[in-house]
Chain A
Amino acid sequence: MEVVLGNLYEAWLENTNSQFEEDTFLEPIIKRYCYWHGGTTDKVDIKGKTFNAAYEIYIYAFFLGIYANKRRPLVGNKRNFSMEMKRWGNINLSMFPDRRTYSQIQKYVFSALIAKSDIDLLAIDRGDLSIPDGVSILMRTLSEYANGGFYLMKEKMESVPDYFDGQQSFLTFISKYAQKSKQ
């Protein structure tokens, strides 16, 4: 792979700093619906969990936050997935034969971050804003929208504790916000 120096996108792909509020969300949501162990390459017993690796529900929370337009700064203990953005969606198909890879999602996430953050690309291109700093802005945007999404989920689970246990619940919940955002 040709590494183009000064490419924001390429640099972002290498970033691992996707963060979430550990105390608020690790146990009640992330561990409940994913197998918490790390990446998708670990040998994993995924019986009964809706998603495989934990970042998957993070993606869900992110898009949820985007559609609901809820961005929320992180408080408390912050934890990250220690997994490069470029690995998101690269499912090990021999281990999980009934899944598919979806690495195109990286581009869409990135485009949402550009759209929603206040990063000045001209400054980047001029060299006034460094690539690492630019990536930081984007990652903070990522984390905060995801955080917003997580808080929405937490709210829902307070009124209906096993709402997300339903077969179509994840789909229905995000579709609601997606509909609204289209209008």
Chain B
Amino acid sequence: MIIKKLIIKNFRSYYGEKVFEFQKGLNLILGANGDGKTTFFDALDFVFSIDDVERRSFSYSACVSKKMFSELAPGATGKVMVSVDVLNSDNRPRTIEREMEVRKKEDGTMSIVSSSHLGYLPLINGGRKTVMVKDLLYGEGLFPPIIKKYSLFKGEKALNIFEDKTTLKNLINLFSDIKDLGPYKDFAKFGEDTSSRAVTNAQRKDKQAGEAAAQLLREKELLESYLAQENSRLADLRTTYSDNQARIDAIEADLETIELVHGMQDAIKDLQDEVDILRDKLDENYSTNLLDRLWILNGFQPVLEEFAEKMSDFSEKKQTLINIEKERAIREKAEREAEAKTIAELKAKLTELPWYIPDVKTMQSMLEKERCLVCGTEAPKGSSAYAHIAKHLEEALEHINKTHKQEHKEEIVEELFKLRNVESLHQMSIQLYQYGINLNDISAEIEKEKSRNDGLHLEIQDKNQTIDEKQTEMARVLSQSASGHDIGELAGSWLNIKHWYKTREDASIEIERITSKRIPELKKKIAENTEKYKKAVVDITAKEFLKINTFYKLLGDALERAESRTLEEFMDKLATTANRFLEMLNIDDFTGEIDISRDFRDNSINVHLVGSDGKNIDNPNTSLFTTMHLSVLFAISELTKDNLNSEYPMILDAPTSSFDEGKDKTFYQVMNEKLDKQCIIVTKSYLYKDESDKFAVDEKGIQKLLSVKHIPVYRIQKRTGFDKKDQSTIETIVTPLF
């Protein structure tokens, strides 16, 4: 089928009737984002889809051109239509039209008056015959959905068709040279089971032989149950593998960023921990330290000195007073001693008195008797002799008394200072002075504390600044990430992500073990058991049934083998065809090729590039990558031609927008030269922004293209002067450039 003409009328931004005429080979539609590119595809979908599911999500009123509707008078009606003229595989013209009639009610709202979706066959007489669209699309095979799926691509991401796991099955169903082997395999199994039962039954009659065979059968059942378990485990592992793979795929593009951010998060956390440690070290109890560490004594030195001086003074004074007293005591003592000496001398003299000189008593009595008892001389009172005796007596008595008093006085001097506070406080002052806190050190200690805290504050500030810088950097990285993921959150669960990789890896290893070792081993054991069983079956009838059983087993195996061979053959064919296109497109002078193979880990299909050295190219540049997928699509389209004897157009949305500068034009030049099949491409290529920041057409480039082959080139653009907020002013203009 090829599309000859497309008419879009009042469909969304396409106001009025817009006509596109296409031909075989390359057809270009130039448009930037917002110009009506998406609507172009939606219009094609609109006319080519009859799927009920698609219809349900469809909003009819959204299809109507707002501009057209705004111009309707209340009560008036307008038409919306998309129609396509095609040529079918027999080159016969066909038309499909889908239209809607809408009315603007009195209150300004929209009501849908009628809608129709019909096919037409032109008649020889000039008229046309109406047919059901379904009959055209499906029955005649004009554009069945399964084909449309691999022909109409909106957006580049859609090009990797094998991301959809059903693709391979669909393609095989469409193109492979054998059908689904399901029914045949089912029958072979049925045959195997039926004949197996027959063998057992026949064997039962021969008891002895039956025992041995029965034992082998039991063994076989056991082995088969193990095999089933391994297969079940394999299926689970494959699911685990592909689940984790899917998770990894989802974030793979961001993996570097996630890891980077995770590193940053860790670094920030470490710094914050360091800050906490530093904060703990702070000791800013300046006020309570005045007491606890006696900082309040900073400045106390003069007071202490005053105290010491005072105490020294008191001590001196006290000592002086004590000394004075002591001296006096000594003097008096000396005097007394002198007196005592005199008395002693007197006493001695007294005793030296001749027997006729009396002692004190005698003297006294002499005085009384007025007579010297010594010499008998009369000493009457008043006489010099009397006075003489009296004087001596007085002196003697005085000395005796003095001595007595002196002893008494010494006791009184001792009692001058009863308490010893001066001494103990003087002691205290010395103690504080010499052994107390070194008051001169306090000022330095305070300063040291302050500067220690200041230093810590600086460090903390420094680290906080680094934290800020890192957080800003992290925010920048996060804001630049174009993906829809919450990178910050993913980075936080970095361990989870690592776990996905591990789980996937573990599953892969286990899958390898099961598929390359355990399952083959079990199958070998089952085969051995079968051989033994054959020998154990001795009954003739049973032997017959065994033959039949063997037959069905072999048939079943052969069908399995045929199926997997078919798959491999298909992939080879697809790859070969794709490589032809790859070579033709020859982007970047690439010398490698496309390889299509099955990933045994999850049974998915991988399409990748292999260099001329045989090594996989894991990260090809975008243009190569896109070309690879396009080649596969072209290959499928080719297979469609070969197998179904019909060809279909490829309708793509700007697969070249990610190409490097200039490469896209080369791509189109090559396509133009070499392409035979119809390709309608909507692209931003050949448009560039001019001085007034508007998109302009690269006329030269287009002319170059047209000089090789005259192809349809259209420009679609929004009419200038539209009001973004008023959708009724938006209109797409279609301009042919050829």
Contacts and interface: CB of A to CB of B under 8 A. Distances in A.
B425 interface: yes
Given A111-B307, A121-B421, A50 B298 contact: no
A112 B303 contact: yes
Given A121-B421, A125-B419, A182 B301 contact: yes
Give the residue among B287, B307, B432 with the most A Cβ atoms within 10 A: B287
A152 interface: no
A121 B422 contact: yes
A127 B299 contact: no
Interface stretch (A14-22, A74-82, A153-161, A171-179): A171-179
B303 A122 contact: no
A25 interface: no
A114 B425 contact: yes
A126 B303 CA distance: 26
B293 interface: yes
A92 interface: no
Contact of B432 (A60, A91, A107, A178): A107
Interface string B293-322: 111111111111011001100100110010
Given A108-B304, A108-B432, 11 more contacts: A9-B425, A50-B287, A56-B291, A107-B428, A114-B425, A121-B422, A125-B420, A126-B416, A170-B286, A178-B300, A182-B299
12 contacts: A7-B421, A63-B300, A107-B436, A108-B304, A111-B307, A111-B429, A114-B311, A116-B306, A124-B419, A126-B416, A175-B446, A181-B299
B696 interface: no
Contacts, number: 139
A111 B304 contact: yes
A67 interface: yes
Interface of B: 284-304, 306-307, 310-311, 314, 317-318, 321, 416-422, 424-425, 428-429, 432, 436-437, 446, 450
Contacts of B286: 167-168, 170-171
A171 B302 contact: no
Contacts of A181: 299, 302-303
B432 A167 contact: no
B287 A8 contact: no
A115 B425 CA distance: 11
Contacts of A56: 291
Give the residue among B288, B299, B302, B311 with the most A Cβ atoms within 10 A: B299
A59 interface: yes
A174 B290 contact: yes
- Contact-residue bracket for chain A: 35 or more
A41 interface: no
**Chain A interface mostly helix, strand, loop or mixed?**
helix
A170 B311 CA distance: 31
B299 A9 contact: no
Contacts of A8: 419, 421, 425
Nearest to B416: A126
Contacts of B429: 111
Contacts of B321: 122
A60 B425 CA distance: 24
Given A104-B437, A111-B428, A59 B296 contact: yes
Nearest to B296: A63
Given A108-B297, A125-B318, A100 B422 contact: no
A104 B425 CA distance: 15
A95 interface: no
Nearest to B297: A108
A180 to B, nearest CB: 8
A112 B300 contact: yes
Contacts of A175: 298-299, 446
B298 A115 contact: no
Contacts of A182: 299, 301-302
Contact of A171 (B306, B416, B417, B446): B446
A125 B417 contact: yes
A105 interface: yes
Contact of A121 (B300, B301, B425, B432): B425
Contact of A51 (B288, B297, B298, B310): B288
A146 interface: no
A2 interface: no
B425 to A, nearest CB: 6
Interface of A: 6-9, 50-52, 56, 59-60, 63, 66-67, 89, 91, 98-100, 102, 104-105, 107-108, 110-112, 114-116, 121-122, 124-127, 167-171, 174-175, 177-179, 181-182
Contacts of B302: 181-182
A9 B307 CA distance: 14
A38 to B, nearest CB: 18
A114 B287 contact: no
Contacts of B289: 171
Contacts of B422: 121-122, 125
Contact of A124 (B287, B421, B432): B421
B425 A108 contact: no
B314 A102 contact: no
Nearest to B292: A100
Contacts of A9: 421, 424-425, 428
Give the residue among B285, B300, B420 with the most A Cβ atoms within 10 A: B300
B291 A127 contact: no
B11 to A, nearest CB: 73
Nearest to A127: B418
Give the residue among B288, B289, B298 with the most A Cβ atoms within 10 A: B288
B622 to A, nearest CB: 61
Nearest to A112: B303
B428 A59 contact: no
Nearest to A175: B298
Contacts of A108: 294, 297, 300, 304, 432, 436
Contacts of B296: 59-60, 63, 105, 174
A98 B284 CA distance: 12
A6 B297 contact: no
A165 to B, nearest CB: 11
Contacts of A122: 314, 317-318, 321, 417, 422
Contacts of A177: 299
Contacts of A91: 292
Contacts of B417: 122, 125-126
A167 to B, nearest CB: 6
A102 B292 contact: yes
B421 A125 contact: yes
B428 A51 contact: no
B418 to A, nearest CB: 5
Given A121-B314, A125-B420, A126-B418, A179 B291 contact: no
Contact of A67 (B288, B299, B436, B446): B299
Contacts of A107: 428, 432, 436
B288 A50 contact: yes
A99 B424 contact: no
A6 B288 contact: no
Contacts of A60: 290-291, 296
Minimum-distance CB pairs A-B, first 9:
A178-B299, A115-B307, A115-B306, A100-B292, A111-B307, A125-B419, A170-B287, A6-B419, A171-B286
Contact of B310 (A89, A100, A115): A115
Contacts of B419: 6-8, 124-127
A121 B314 CA distance: 7
B421 A105 contact: no
A102 to B, nearest CB: 5
A6 B428 contact: no
Contacts of B285: 98
Contacts of A104: 294, 436-437
B293 A100 contact: yes
B299 A179 contact: yes
Contact of A112 (B292, B307, B314, B318): B307
B432 A125 contact: no
A168 B295 CA distance: 13
Nearest to A182: B299
B162 to A, nearest CB: 68
A157 to B, nearest CB: 15
